Amino acid sequence: MKLRFLLSLFLGFLLIFLLNTQLVCSQDLAEGEQLFSANCVACHANGLNSVNPEKTLQIKDLEKYSKDSVDAIVTQVTNGYGAMPPFGDRLSEDEVKNVASYVLNQAVNSSW
């Protein structure tokens, strides 16, 4: 009886955690989209690249240049590289992660 109670309590907390995590992810993607529109769309409209057309934000190019993870995109956005300026001084760590999550989500789902 006590084991059932503890198990149901654990499962309840797990369910709350998973639901909360999903809601936060949705909010992060929405914020990432807003930040992308405000900071990135000038060069990356529709997931393209107006400066270097070979390096788009399409998943095939992200994979080709090893930028197909949130961590890799965070590094790129934070530090810049080549013609891309760094945004680490303009955006907070959370904002950069939100943009990176948005970019990867758009690429993986072919939503550009």
CA gap 42, 31 in Å, rounded: 18
CA distance 91 to 45: 19
Answer yes or no: is 25 a known binding residue. no
Q: What type of residue sits at position 82?
A: G
Q: Report residue 49: phi and psi, to 5°.
A: -140, 105
> How far, in whole angstroms, is CA 29 from its chain's centroid?
7
Q: Is 44 part of any known ligand binding site?
A: yes
Residue 26 host element (H or E) = helix 2-39
Q: How far apart are CA 11 and CA 6, in angstroms?
A: 9
Q: Is 43 annotated as a binding residue?
A: yes
40 is in an annotated binding site: yes
Which amino acids are annotated as binding site for heme c, given as ranges?
40, 43-44, 84
Which amino acids are annotated as binding site, given as ranges?
40, 43-44, 84
